[in-house]
Chains A and B, each alone.
Chain A
Amino acid sequence: MNTAYALIILPVITGIISLFISSERLRRNLLVVVAFVHLFMSIMLCTGAAGELNGSWIGLDHLGRLFLMIVSLLFAGSAIYSMEYLDKHPHFDGPAIAGLRMPGNSNAVFVACMQLFLAAMSLSVMSTHLGLQWIGIEATTLASTPLIYYHRNKRSLEAAWKYMILCSVGIALALMGVFFLAMAASSHVQQFTPVGLALFSGYLKIEWLKVAFIFFLVGYGTKMGLAPMHTWLPDAHSEAPSPVSAMLSGALLNCAFLGLLRIYQVCAAVPGVASFASELLIIFGLISLAISGVFILRQPDYKRMLAYSSVEHMGILALGVGLGGSAIAAALLHAVGHSLVKSSLFLLSGNILAVYASKKIEDIKGLLKTMPVSGALWLAGFFAITGTPPFTTFTSEFAIVRVALQSHSWTIAILYLLFLLLVFIGMLTAFMHMSLGKKGEVEVDGSAGESFWQVLPPVVFLTAALFLGLYLPDFMRSAINGAAVLLGGKPL
Chain B
Amino acid sequence: MNSIATLLAITCMLLLGSSRLLVSIRMVAFQGILLGLLPLFVTDHIGVAAVLLMLTNIGLKSILLPWLLTKALFESGTRREIEPFIGFGASILAGVLLLAVSGYIVNRLQTTAQISSPFTLIAGFFMFFSGLFLLITRRKALTQTLGFLVLENGVFTTGLSLGSEFSVFVELGILLDVFVGIFLMGIMLFHIDREFDHIDADRFNELSDLAVDVGDSEEASE
Contact = CB atoms under 8 A, between A and B. Distances in A.
Interface of A: 89, 95, 97-98, 100, 102, 129, 131-132, 134-135, 138-139, 141-142, 145-146, 149, 151-155, 157-162, 164-165, 168-169, 172, 175-176, 178-180, 182-183, 192, 205, 207-208, 211, 234-235, 238-239, 241-242, 295, 299-301, 304, 350, 353-354, 357-360, 363
B187 A164 contact: no
Given A138-B181, A161-B201, A304-B209, A358 B72 contact: no
A157 B191 contact: yes
Contact of A353 (B187, B195, B209, B220): B220
A112 B177 CA distance: 17
B185 interface: yes
Contacts of A142: 177, 180-181, 184
A234 B209 contact: yes
A164 B151 CA distance: 14
A208 B113 contact: yes
Given A169-B151, A172-B151, A353-B220, A155 B206 contact: yes
Given A151-B222, A175-B159, A183 B164 contact: yes
B158 interface: yes
The 3 closest A-B pairs by CB, nearest first: A182-B164, A97-B190, A135-B173
**A138, A157, A172: which has the most chain B beta carbons within 10 Å?**
A172
Nearest to B209: A295
Given A98-B190, A149-B191, A241 B148 contact: no
Contacts of A158: 204, 206-207
A172 to B, nearest CB: 5
**B112, B152, B174, B220: which has the most chain A beta carbons within 10 Å?**
B220
Contacts of A172: 148, 151-152, 155
Interface in B187-222: 187-188, 190-192, 194-196, 201, 204, 206-207, 209, 214-215, 217, 219-222
Contact of B174 (A165, A169, A175, A242): A175
Interface string B159-192: 1001010100010011001101100110110111
Given A138-B174, A158-B206, A300-B215, 4 more contacts: A98-B190, A178-B164, A182-B159, A205-B113
Given A149-B188, A172-B151, A179-B155, A301 B195 contact: no
B191 A97 contact: yes
Contact of A182 (B71, B162, B204, B220): B162
6 contacts: A98-B190, A152-B191, A179-B162, A180-B162, A182-B166, A183-B164
Nearest to A97: B190
B144 interface: yes
B92 interface: no
Given A97-B194, A132-B170, A149-B191, A139 B207 contact: no
B122 interface: no
B168 to A, nearest CB: 11
A463 B124 CA distance: 51
A132 B169 CA distance: 9
B221 A151 contact: yes
B132 interface: yes
B119 interface: no
A446 B204 CA distance: 35
Contacts of A295: 209
Contacts of B180: 142
A394 B30 CA distance: 56
A142 B132 CA distance: 20
Nearest to A143: B180
Contacts of A179: 155, 158-159, 162, 164
Contacts of A149: 188, 191
Nearest to B141: A161
Interface string B133-160: 0010000010010001001100100110
Contact of B217 (A138, A238, A359): A359
B75 interface: yes
A178 B180 CA distance: 20
B214 A192 contact: no
Given A98-B75, A131-B174, A161 B188 contact: yes
A353 B185 CA distance: 29
Contact of B207 (A95, A155, A178, A211): A155
Contact of A300 (B191, B194, B214): B214
A238 B217 CA distance: 13
B126 interface: no
B109 interface: yes
Interface in B100-118: 109, 112-113
B167 to A, nearest CB: 8
B45 to A, nearest CB: 18
A158 B201 CA distance: 9
B177 A139 contact: yes
A138 B179 CA distance: 11
**B151, B206, B207: which has the most chain A beta carbons within 10 Å?**
B207
A154 B164 contact: no
Contacts of B191: 97, 149, 152, 157
Contact of B187 (A100, A176, A207): A100
Given A149-B191, A179-B155, A164 B181 contact: yes
Contacts of B207: 155, 158-159, 162, 234-235, 238-239
Given A135-B173, A172-B155, A182-B162, A207 B215 contact: no
A182 B185 CA distance: 30
B181 A141 contact: yes
Contact of A208 (B112, B128, B173): B112
Contact of A304 (B148, B155, B215): B215
B173 A132 contact: yes
Contact of B192 (A98, A138, A161): A161
A164 B195 CA distance: 17
A160 B75 contact: no
B64 to A, nearest CB: 12
A154 B195 contact: yes
A180 to B, nearest CB: 7
Nearest to B217: A358
A97 B174 contact: no
Contact of A242 (B72, B141, B222): B222
A139 B109 CA distance: 31
Contacts of A100: 187, 190
Contacts of A161: 141, 188, 192, 201, 204
